Amino acid sequence: MEQQQEPAGGGGGGGGVRVVARICPYAPPPPDAALNFQVAALNDPALISFLPRRPTASAAAAAASGRGDGPKDKQQQQKYRVDGCYLRDDPNHRVFHNEVKPLIDGRGGGGGRGGVKACVVSCGDAAAKRHLFMGSPDQPGLFTMAMAQLLDSSKAIGAAVTVSSYQVLQDTHILDLLEPKNHEVLILEDADGQTHLKGLSRVGVKSIEEFSQLCCCAANQQRHHPAKDSTQLQDWGHQGLIIYVSSIDQQGKEYALAKINFLNLAGYVDPKQKKNEGLAVPTGNKSMHALMNVVQH
């Protein structure tokens, strides 16, 4: 299952944040019985539930004795309230048209000072998140569709499009994926509480072909970074892509027209696994717990 969290005007959230779920488009579930769950979209289109694919012996015994509301039973039938749910066969284009395009068009409540600002957050299965953001030979991902629209709209007004890409290392350390540097990218917070990544490069983009090359470059940098072969592996955190649209005013100063963030939340790390003994719970776990607590019904 994937979830996105993003500023939007509609949906059941009503508070500038919209959370939607997507049934993972990859069919075969893990053979491990403990992971043998399916996600069901119930009659209420905004309510989804994790259901066991087959009743466990304890659940069957509880049902036979009329005891079906114990803690384990409740855990097996956990329900989550979301603003919408995309099914297995829904293409990436539908997700983009309904969830991301309104943000780029400025219809998602993200406008105001500094132009359109929006953030799309995804968590869940790694392959499914990659398919959603990066796409496949059969269909483009959200990255490509967003960039295509921004390039098209920018040409008409002579605006410039630039991108940044980064990977979080060990919670608070940032790796620049487009222009690797020896010095660290600094995480700073201004007086308004806004977070800034000082030293993070911005690379100009003029075509989809250039953007595709940059995405490949970022993926290769991530794959071959020394930390991938060290004990830091389990500490790799979130990965982000930022698309900026800017123009020049009459005084020759740059001003922002749009800033779209795509954030891929780090996968869950089981602290009970032997290889993780003695390590602090990663920030990725805390982020996922916070999001799931928001939508838990």
**Who wins on pLDDT, 195 or 258?**
258
Mean pLDDT of 278-292: 55
| Rounded CA separation 214/212 (Å) | 5
* pLDDT at position 54 over 90: no
In the structure, what pLDDT confidence band is assigned to residue 147 with cuts at 50, 70 and 90?
Answer: very high
Residue 167 has pLDDT above 70, yes or no: yes
The answer to whether the CB of 256 falls within 8 A of the CB of 232 is: no
Task: Return the higher-pLDDT residue of 60 and 82.
Answer: 82
What is the DSSP secondary structure assignment for residue 89, as one 8-state letter? T
Q: What is the CATH number of the domain that holds 179?
A: 3.40.850.10
**Dist. CA 264–CA 281, nearest whole Å:** 18
Structural domain count of the chain: 1
pTM of the entire structure? 0.75
What is d(CA 266, CA 122) in angstroms, rounded to the nearest whole number? 9
pLDDT of residue 127: 86
Among 217-226, 227-236, 241-250, whose mean pLDDT is lowest? 227-236
Provide mean pLDDT across the span 56-76.
Answer: 51
Q: What are the b/e assignments for 172-211, b being 16+ CB within 10 Å?
A: eebbbbbeeeeeebeeeeeeeeeeebeebbebebeeeebb
With both helix axes pointing from N to C terminus, report the angle between 142-157 and 208-224 in degrees, rounded to the nearest 10. 140
Asked whether the beta carbons of 197 and 185 are under 8 A apart, the reply is yes
Q: Lowest-pLDDT range, 83-97, 121-135, 260-274?
A: 260-274
Among 22-31, 175-184, 244-253, whose mean pLDDT is lowest? 22-31
* Range from 111-120, 133-142, 165-174 carrying the lowest mean pLDDT: 111-120
Nearest to 99 by CA among 160, 134, 141: 141
Contact 255, 278 (CB under 8 A): no
Highest mean pLDDT pick, 26-35, 54-63, 132-141, 213-222:
132-141
Instruction: Tell me the pairing of strands 195-198 and 186-189.
Output: antiparallel
Tell me which residue range forms the domain holding 249: 2-295
The end-to-end CA distance of the chain, in Å, is: 17
Question: For 187-218, how does the pLDDT look when each residue is reduced to its tens digit (9 = 90+)?
Answer: 888 888 777 888 899 999 999 999 999 988 77
* φ, ψ dihedrals at 2, nearest 5°: -120, 150
